[in-house]
Amino acid sequence: MNQNIDLLVSYIDAFRRFPWQALVVAVVLSLVGWVFVIFMPNQYEATSRLHLSNESMMGPLLKGLAAESNLTTEMASLMRRTLINRPNLEKVLQSTDIGLVATTPKEKERLLRDLGTRIQVEGDAKSKIFKIRFVDESPQIVRNVVQALTNIFIEDSLGATRKDAFAAQRFLNKEIGEYEIKLEKSENRLKVFKQKNVGLMPSDGENFFSKLNQATTGFQTAQLELKEAKKRLAALRAQSVKEKGRRSLQQKEASINKELSEVKGKLDKLRSRFTEKHPDIAFYRQRLEELYAMSGAGGAQKQFSSTGSFTSEARAMDIALGKAEGDVAALKVRVATFNKQLDSLNSRIDVMPGVEAELARLNRDYGVIKKTYEGLVQRREAALLSDQAEMSSDSLQFRVIEYPVVPVLPVSPNRLKWITLVFLGSVGVGLGVSILLGQLLPVVSTTRELKQLTGLPVLGSVSMAWNDSQKSNRQKKVVVLAAVWGLLLVAYSGLVFLQMKNNNLLEIFRQFAGGSA
């Protein structure tokens, strides 16, 4: 802390010892710097603002039908890419007085390069407002340059967009022609392949191995159903044989019962006319015994009474047996069909996968080419419709919302800032010079410095005794020094006031110089 205080005291003492040197340096640097700042060339800026819009009455009608081109974004890109090119810059040189200073091709080239770097094109696609800016020393030139650029852009932009549209249509037509040839070649390749491999083409949504799996599963299922049908048929046939035996026995018993009834009837008639010894009665009685011996009377009656129900059961058995035989025959045909299909598929197992793979590749290529072709055709139709809509209605509208004018006040340099920086820098350099002189010509100002310098104890100090004449001279010097510093501050304040009031110190001094002359 003490070291900092001592250092500050040494700086103050150096300024006290060399105040005039600091003042002279500050005044000289301030005057030189202010003259330089005042006579810095003024830079004037001219701007023009354009509003671009592609909204028209036909927009809602053509929404979803025509290609929706974002022309404002395209115009912004067009302004940045093509506005500041060599042909346009040469047009600007011809329409303004800038090119008069270029007498040689080399100077003209340098002027074109410099002009291209100083022209600025700014824009906001969201607000659709774009600005053209140019800065130069001549207010008339900056206005003329910006006006020329605005005219060039309005004249060339519509033509450029039309050229782009025609170029896009030519490109689409060219691509459509090429893809049409590719599509025809792909269709021919697919047709020739199908003709060459007729009978080997897979069904829609099925490949060879899925068909082979289905045929195998169907064959196994048909075989199982055929076995079941054969067993069912064999069971029906066995039951039918039993039923036929029962039917034959029952028919025989029915015949016996019928004859028994007839014999009984005849015997009763004969007994009513003859005795038991009549030979006919004896014959029929003997026949009756034989019939009773062949079948008991009670069982015969019972079988005879159930003859009607037996007929319906036999008919149902015959129907079931016929249906079972039909099922077996149908399943045999089904099994044979599946077996034939399996044989056919197994015989083509080495060929079909390759055929299917090649067909899939051809269909894939054909689908890709067809999709691309249809997309190009759709884009061409949309582009044609969009272009016709743009031609029938002024879809792209330019509106200059701010024309360039001759600027009155310069935009640079910022003299207020530079005047202040020159003043502060000059004062700082003056103080630095006094401190530097204090370091180059050191003196002992305090007892502490003397003690530090000699390493000996200081017993006391003797102050300087000034007489009246010396005191008066010192006071005059201080007054003059303060007056000069005050004048420097007043000069700075006056320059700041003039700059803030008129914002063009160079013109003020030029007018002052002209009036004095």
Given a contact cutoff of 8 angstroms between Cβ atoms, the answer to whether 50 and 123 are in contact is: no
CB atoms within 10 A of CB 112: 18
Statement to judge: residues 21 and 66 lie in one domain? no
Give the whole-angstrom CA distance, residue 124 versus residue 73.
9
CATH of the domain at 128: 3.30.1890
Give the whole-angstrom CA distance, residue 333 versus residue 33.
118
Mean pLDDT calculated for residue range 28-47: 89
Largest CA distance in the chain: 215
**pLDDT tens per residue across span 82-134:** 677 888 888 888 777 777 777 788 888 888 888 888 888 887 767 778 888 88
CA dihedral angle for residue 18, residue 22, residue 23, residue 24, rounded to 10 degrees = 100
Statement to judge: residues 261 and 306 lie in one domain? yes
Last residue of a domain, one of 372, 402, 432: 402
Q: Is residue 8 part of a domain?
A: yes
Given CA atoms 336, 340, 345, 350 in this order, what sign does their dihedral have? positive
Given a contact cutoff of 8 angstroms between Cβ atoms, the answer to whether 433 and 422 are in contact is: no
Q: Which domain holds residue 172?
A: 44-179+392-402
Statement to judge: residues 323 and 457 lie in one domain? no
pTM of the model: 0.47
DSSP 100: G
Statement to judge: residues 16 and 63 lie in one domain? no
Please give the helix or strand (H or E) that residue 94 lies within, else none.
helix 86-95
Statement to judge: residues 122 and 56 lie in one domain? yes
Last residue of a domain, one of 367, 382, 402: 402
Statement to judge: residues 446 and 498 lie in one domain? yes
For residue 201, give the 3-state DSSP assignment.
coil
Q: What is the mean pLDDT of the chain?
A: 76
Cα 227–231–237 angle (5° rounding)? Answer: 140
Q: Is residue 191 part of a domain?
A: no
Query: What is the predicted pLDDT for the residue at 53?
Result: 63
- The number of distinct structural domains making up the chain is 3
Res. 165 pLDDT band, cuts 50 70 90:
low
Statement to judge: residues 68 and 131 lie in one domain? yes
Give the whole-angstrom CA distance, residue 498 versus residue 507.
11
Statement to judge: residues 31 and 92 lie in one domain? no
Given a contact cutoff of 8 angstroms between Cβ atoms, the answer to whether 66 and 389 are in contact is: yes
Q: Is residue 33 part of a domain?
A: yes
One DSSP character per residue, 174-199 reads HHHHHHHHHHHHHHHHHHHHHHHTTT
Q: Is residue 362 part of a domain?
A: no
Statement to judge: residues 71 and 161 lie in one domain? yes
Give the whole-angstrom CA distance, residue 363 versus residue 356.
10
Q: Is residue 422 part of a domain?
A: yes
Give the whole-angstrom CA distance, residue 398 versus residue 79.
13
**pLDDT tens per residue across span 427-441:** 999 999 988 888 888
Query: What is the predicted pLDDT for the residue at 487?
Result: 93
Give the whole-angstrom CA distance, residue 41 versus residue 284.
167
Q: Is residue 357 part of a domain?
A: no
Query: What is the predicted pLDDT for the residue at 305?
Result: 42
Statement to judge: residues 313 and 253 lie in one domain? yes
Res. 61 pLDDT band, cuts 50 70 90:
very low
Cα 131–149–107 angle (5° rounding)? Answer: 120
Given a contact cutoff of 8 angstroms between Cβ atoms, the answer to whether 53 and 128 are in contact is: yes
Give the whole-angstrom CA distance, residue 131 versus residue 129.
7
